[in-house]
Amino acid sequence: MFSALRQHRSFAHGIHPPEAKDDTRDLPIKQFPFAPVMIVPLSQHIGKPALPVVREGQEVERGQLIAEPDGFVSVAMHAPASGVIQRIALAPGINGRMSPAIFLKPFPGSSQQVSEGEPCDLATASPEDILLAIQRAGIVGLGGAAFPTHVKLKVPDDKHIDTLIINGVECEPYLTTDHRVMLEQQADIFTGVRYLLKVTGAECAIIGVEANKLDVAQSLRAALPTDIPVTVEVVAVKYPQGAEKMLISALLDREVPSGGLPSDIGVVSVNVATTAEIGRLLPHGRGIQERVITIGGPAIARKGNYRIPIGTPLRFALEYAGMAQNVSRVFLGGPMMGQSLPSLDIPITKGTSGFIAFSDAQTAAPVEYPCIHCAYCVDACPLFLNPSQLGLLARAGQVERMADEFNLLDCFECGSCSYVCPAHIPLVQRFRAAKGVLRKRRAAS
């Protein structure tokens, strides 16, 4: 055990949940069929919703632009299939709220062929051209955050970026999409790195891979291009190693300042699937119309990694993958940070990295004990917060003190504290609620 720790770099603290990746890690990415109706929400990203540029009844080609970015913090949407725009109306989203979406009915026998756009030529494009192309391609962080990538890449002029980090850690249990992308789309990834190096002006790029994907590290290293400064680094298997701050800490031993951004310490980090999409789409001027998603968990018969058109209804996707009739819990993303879904009648969006379904019987919530100060949470928190103290303050409703004295707003809700708590106190859940209260209060005052 100790030799393994010494072998690979990591951050301090963290936890080791069961990886649960064996079911799907070796399954190649499969193309998904088109659903009878696709629902493309206009807001799949953080920022302003896109503006539709199609009319009801209009015929569109797969890959055609159907909504434009509205302002800088917004991205474009593209038709996931060739078909007819049925209507533009409200549709239920992941958070349970209704939001505007474009309903698209694919033509029967619609081809997988994607229409070509105006290519972004790596040799001649300026950094601004590339940023614009990324925005026009509708690219957002595919790791789950769905933050517009071009905004993240827009580094303030007074900051110098020396290192570009490509995040291929994928530390959430069950998820294997990045694993497959790194095995199957290496050329796309390296093309993406070329674009990203040019945009950020970074001197070198590091692809960070967790030690449970040594096959990836080996094959990426074998395929490394020699004309760009890119390397592959293996980091220890630990959760949440894939968090941006943790990966930067592991690879470079630099700390992103509290409340700051990686660019403050000369780093930009991009998810590896996002990088692959940049490399796959920009040379053809295309936009994101599908993404790789792991469908797994005990309630799925045909587990796998699927390339699924954006807007595919979740119910269609899960039934295609052989969901058990007695399914009881479905998570969007992994079991550590994923959201549990109230309904299957929602569309798949760009930020979806996986669906994990369970069919276990209703489990009683474990007894909650008082905090016994065991310090398990203190030793787990990757940001060196004091979840024990924060939990006591949350119970007392002292949200201001949580933020002012105990750095509540640094918490990125990885859930390690709740995972280890022997008193079964819903720590991160309470921090989430406290942040909500704080946000409302600060907005009101």
Piece of 62-70, 73-81, 109-117, 419-427 that binds another protein (CB under 8 A):
419-427
Cβ proximity to another protein, 245 vs 286, nearer residue: 245
**How far apart are the C-alpha atoms of 312 and 104, rounded to whole Å?**
10
Piece of 44-52, 98-106, 187-195, 428-436 that binds another protein (CB under 8 A):
428-436
**Least separation in angstroms between CB 328 and another protein:** 6
Q: Among residues 327, 398, 401, 437, which is the contact residue for another protein, using CB under 8 A?
A: 327
Which two tokens mark 227? 């004309």
Binding of another protein by 429 (CB under 8 A): yes
Cβ proximity to another protein, 23 vs 68, nearer residue: 23
Cβ proximity to another protein, 173 vs 192, nearer residue: 173
**Least separation in angstroms between CB 162 and another protein:** 15
Count other C-beta atoms under 10 Å from residue 156's C-beta.
8
Cβ proximity to another protein, 201 vs 366, nearer residue: 366
Residues 164-223 that bind another protein (CB under 8 A): 173
Listed residue (407, 401, 400) closest to 438, CA to CA? 400
Residues 1-30 that bind another protein (CB under 8 A): 15, 17-18
Q: Among residues 326, 397, 440, 442, which is the contact residue for another protein, using CB under 8 A?
A: 326
End-to-end CA distance of the chain: 52
Binding of another protein by 352 (CB under 8 A): no
Binding of another protein by 268 (CB under 8 A): no
Q: Among residues 389, 400, 435, 438, which is the contact residue for another protein, using CB under 8 A?
A: 389
Binding of another protein by 322 (CB under 8 A): no
Those residues with Cβ within 8 angstroms of residue 90's Cβ, 6 or more apart along the chain or in another chain: 98, 99, 100, 101
Binding of another protein by 398 (CB under 8 A): no
Q: 231-268: string of b/e by CB count within 10 Å (b at 16+)?
A: ebbbbbbbbbbbbbbbbbbbbbeeebeeeeebbebbbb
Cβ proximity to another protein, 317 vs 381, nearer residue: 381
Could you tell me if 402 and 394 are in contact, meaning their C-beta atoms sit under 8 angstroms apart?
yes
Binding of another protein by 251 (CB under 8 A): no
Give the footprint of another protein on this chain (CB under 8 A): 15, 17-18, 173, 245, 249, 254-260, 265, 315, 325-331, 335-345, 362, 366, 369-376, 378, 381-386, 388-389, 406-407, 410, 413, 415, 418-424, 426, 428-429, 432
